[in-house]
Chain A
Amino acid sequence: MKRKLLPIILSLFFTINSYSQAGKLPSVRLKNLEGKEFDTAQLQNDGKPILVCFWATWCSPCKKELNTYAELYPDWQAETGVKVYAVTIDDQRTVASVKPYVNSVSWEYEILLDVNKNFSQAMGVSSPPHTFLLDGNGNIVWQHVGYTSGDEEEVHAELLKLKK
């Protein structure tokens, strides 16, 4: 068993080095707030960029991040046509608060529920907030972990790069 595994492991790491920046979203089925199912591999925005933001109602920096983006979202959309998918990893304890919270802060994002973290784990997310930027072809071109005030400028700069 061990002998067989070693070459596989080595080739795995070479594979990672070759393809790490060209990844796409893996396929996981998630529900939105109306119970409609989405296949994450099929998320689309008519050839325009997508931001996938992992968050939770118990995560203060996540809410700060998404509330900050919410203020800038109309401008970002006008400039780049970006669409935000805010994926919550709230589990059964807090997931009932997601819809009331999202409506109370009037977010315009598409909210997806990842209650058992199947999608966040498939994306290698260690802890929220974690943001992935996808280009118009669905390739993951940039990601950022954590949020501190000012990181939104980084996101904006990356979005503008995609416009070129």
Chain B
Amino acid sequence: MTRALRIKIVTALAFLISSQPHLIAQEHTDNTLQVHGNFQVLFQQYNPDSIIGAQVPDAQAAMNSFGNVLLNKDKFSAGIRFESYQNAILGFPNRFKGSGIGSRFVRYNHDKIDITVGNFYEQFGNGLIFRSYWEPNLGIDNAMDGIRVIFRPFNGVALKGIYGQQRLDFDSKIINGNGIVRGFDAEVKINDLVSNWNEKPLKITLGGSYVSKYEDGVTIDRDSFLLKIPQNVAAYSGRLGLEYKNISMNVEYAGKINDPNADNFFIYKEGETILGNITFSSKGIGISLNAKFVDNMAFRSERNALLFDLPINFLPAITRQHTYNLAATLYPYATVLNGECGVGGEMFYNFKKESPLGGKYGTYVSLNVAAVNSLDTTQLIGRDALIYGYSTKSYLFGQTKFVRDVNLEVRKKISKSLNIVYAHYYFEFNTAVTPVTQDFKGIVYSHIDVLDVQYKWNSRNSIRTEFQSLLTEQDKGNWATILAEVNFSPHWSFSILDQYNYGNNNPESRVHYLFGNVGYTFESTRIMLGYGKRRAGIFCIGGVCRAVPASNGLEINITSTF
């Protein structure tokens, strides 16, 4: 961010603040200054524990915190976020350090025009070629820093333009990556645009995007070939959405020109991806079918960046986002950016009350399946192998299995005070492709069963228990988890969790990971205090996962929204 831009933002903030005196007279009208925001503090203290492999940083404790303040006044808004890492909690990017401003923007939003200067988050279509977003609990923030303009010339037409750099790091201030990202998106809702189509049952949405990144060019030497790396790389996409009564369909195709980068081992092959889904639903039933094809679609604003750094696009996994502990954290699947082909399906069904399977309160069942394989490719040879790597033969499954995920969940209310959930999961998970464990390379076959029982002993107080079992002959062997949670609404909750790796081949690793937690909630403030052992594993939120190291110690987490 340039000094001039900083000054503009400060001036705009000052304008908003200085307008405060005459607000008093205008309270409860639309022109008042609205303030929203939130705070979060995450503190962790670490004890050494060699058996579970818990690391202790030199400072023996760590703290992440941030505070967001957002101001809205009529058509103007502005926001600022303070961040502090003293030092960063283990599992977060450990280069995050110091305290300072991690985000700031000003925005003018009128009916037809919406302009943001500074940091912003945006997504084009399904995000296949552009998505900037913030996930503070995972340390992910690829905020754009520049300008966004949204223009709505007519009802049903939205045009978006973005231009800027992406946030890469934090060292008492925002540190952006070197690349420049610019893009354009257009979306047209045919039914809004064409006047006599308004009431038609078929709703059509069309969209298209173009995104280009610029980074200083270099030349690389490979096996005596001098390869010139492109400075400008473009990606493009087109999408179609249809709604007809109970049926919805959404399909998007995206392509990317040659983009040699660290993810694809600097090959010049072009990239493409296709995402499609169709859903049918009516009262009591819902069905969704999905297909996805990803070929060489890692797209970052610096060609040497990897993992969570500087992604321009977002390629979601096709498997379900699981929530029960053993199913969610041991073998979670993430998209293989270099190439995969997958299909999935999901069905929800509610057996009605008083039907044979529904009983007095009804029975709810969901079934979900997903299968992902490698691409159907041919490895090139000689000079072509150096330059293009491989060629893709079809849009079908290749030979290597990446993941199979079949899961069934049944929810049943037994009485006014008793609810149960039973779930079964079957996974085949290729840990050589998605390296979620260091102990085993190959396909892990696992069965997981979960029984979740909740009993309310009066209208405000309840106890909930989870019994989970994971059976596998590979990797770390069998696991069992027991959770007991007592809730006193609306303020207090107490829980204790024990994860036990009783089937580990190494007797020393047959450890109980015991963790106790106390939570206090007051309206929009929540304080949680936990103590115990955390397993090294994968922590996922909303479909993105990060590896978290083992830990043993005290945790305090405070969140507050105003």
A57's nearest neighbour on chain B, judged by CB, is B321
- Contacts A103-B285, A145-B521; A35 near B203 (Cβ below 8 A): yes
How many Cβ-Cβ contacts under 8 Å join chain A to chain B? 230
Q: Please, which residues of chain A bring their CB within 8 A of the CB of B505? A: none
Let me know if A150 and B461 touch, CB within 8 A: yes
- Contacts A145-B559, A153-B489; A103 near B346 (Cβ below 8 A): no
A44 interfacial contact with B, CB 8 Å? no
Interface hits, A75-111 → B, CB 8 Å: 89-94, 96-97, 99-106
Q: Please, which residues of chain A bring their CB within 8 A of the CB of B320? A: 58, 94
Q: Please, which residues of chain A bring their CB within 8 A of the CB of B136? A: 126
B485's nearest neighbour on chain A, judged by CB, is A148
**Among candidates A26, A106, A154, residue contacting B283 with C-beta atoms closer than 8 Å:** A106
Q: Please, which residues of chain A bring their CB within 8 A of the CB of B349? A: 104
Mostly, the B contact residues are strand
**Among candidates A57, A121, A149, residue contacting B462 with C-beta atoms closer than 8 Å:** A149
What mask results when residues 234 to 255 of chain B are scored 1 for a CB within 8 Å of chain A, else 0? Answer: 0000000101001010100000
Q: Please, which residues of chain A bring their CB within 8 A of the CB of B258? A: none
Interface hits, B258-285 → A, CB 8 Å: 275, 277, 279-285
Among the listed stretches B25-33, B54-62, B394-402, B469-477, which one makes contact with chain A, having 4 or more residues with CB under 8 Å of it? B25-33
Interface hits, B118-168 → A, CB 8 Å: 121-123, 126-127, 131, 133-134, 136-137
**CA A24 to CA B493, docked complex, whole Å:** 30
Let me know if A103 and B317 touch, CB within 8 A: no
CB distance from B528 to the nearest CB of A (A): 10
B484 interfacial contact with A, CB 8 Å? no
**CA A37 to CA B432, docked complex, whole Å:** 44
Interface size of A by CB at 8 A reads 64
Interface hits, B72-108 → A, CB 8 Å: 72, 77, 80, 101
B334's nearest neighbour on chain A, judged by CB, is A93
Q: Please, which residues of chain B bring their CB within 8 A of the CB of A92? A: 123, 126-127, 131, 275, 314, 316
B348 interfacial contact with A, CB 8 Å? yes
- Contacts A35-B205, A126-B38, A150-B456; A116 near B122 (Cβ below 8 A): yes
B301 interfacial contact with A, CB 8 Å? no
Q: Please, which residues of chain B bring their CB within 8 A of the CB of A24? A: 30, 32, 34, 72
CB distance from B542 to the nearest CB of A (A): 5
Q: Please, which residues of chain A bring their CB within 8 A of the CB of B316? A: 91-94
B414 interfacial contact with A, CB 8 Å? no
Let me know if B487 and A26 touch, CB within 8 A: no
Q: Please, which residues of chain B bring their CB within 8 A of the CB of A145? A: 521, 523-526, 559, 561
Q: Please, which residues of chain B bring their CB within 8 A of the CB of A91? A: 127, 133, 314, 316, 542-543
Let me know if A105 and B70 touch, CB within 8 A: no
**CA A8 to CA B79, docked complex, whole Å:** 12
Let me know if B524 and A143 touch, CB within 8 A: yes
B17 interfacial contact with A, CB 8 Å? yes
Among the listed stretches B214-222, B225-233, B286-294, B376-384, which one makes contact with chain A, having 4 or more residues with CB under 8 Å of it? B286-294
Interface hits, A54-90 → B, CB 8 Å: 56-60, 89-90
Q: Please, which residues of chain A bring their CB within 8 A of the CB of B277? A: 96
**Among candidates A27, A105, A121, residue contacting B350 with C-beta atoms closer than 8 Å:** A105
Interface size of B by CB at 8 A reads 96
Let me know if A99 and B279 touch, CB within 8 A: yes
**CA A145 to CA B521, docked complex, whole Å:** 7
- Contacts A5-B10, A96-B277, A144-B490; A124 near B321 (Cβ below 8 A): no
B424 interfacial contact with A, CB 8 Å? no
**CA A4 to CA B12, docked complex, whole Å:** 12
Let me know if B70 and A26 touch, CB within 8 A: yes
Interface hits, A21-46 → B, CB 8 Å: 22-24, 26-27, 33-35
* A-B interface, 6 closest residue pairs, ranked by CB to CB distance from nearest: A100-B286, A150-B489, A93-B316, A104-B348, A124-B38, A150-B460
Query: Which A residues are closer than 8 A to B by beta carbons?
Result: 1, 4-5, 8, 11-12, 15-16, 19-20, 22-24, 26-27, 33-35, 56-60, 89-94, 96-97, 99-106, 115-118, 121-127, 130, 137, 139, 142-146, 148-151, 153-154
27 pairs, A vs B, C-beta closer than 8 Å: A1-B6, A12-B35, A15-B33, A22-B28, A27-B77, A35-B241, A60-B323, A92-B127, A93-B542, A94-B542, A96-B250, A97-B286, A99-B248, A100-B285, A103-B246, A104-B364, A117-B133, A124-B37, A124-B70, A126-B40, A126-B561, A127-B541, A142-B523, A144-B524, A148-B493, A150-B456, A153-B460
Task: With A26-B36, A145-B525, A149-B456 given, name 15 new contacts (CB 8 A).
Answer: A12-B80, A15-B33, A23-B34, A59-B323, A93-B321, A97-B286, A116-B123, A122-B70, A123-B36, A124-B37, A145-B561, A148-B462, A148-B487, A150-B487, A154-B489
Query: Which B residues are closer than 8 A to A by beta carbons?
Result: 3, 6, 10, 13-14, 17, 20, 23, 27-28, 30, 32-38, 40, 68-72, 77, 80, 101, 109, 121-123, 126-127, 131, 133-134, 136-137, 189, 203, 205, 241, 243, 246, 248, 250, 275, 277, 279-288, 290, 314, 316-318, 320-323, 346-350, 364, 366, 454, 456, 459-462, 487, 489-490, 493, 519, 521, 523-526, 541-543, 559, 561-562
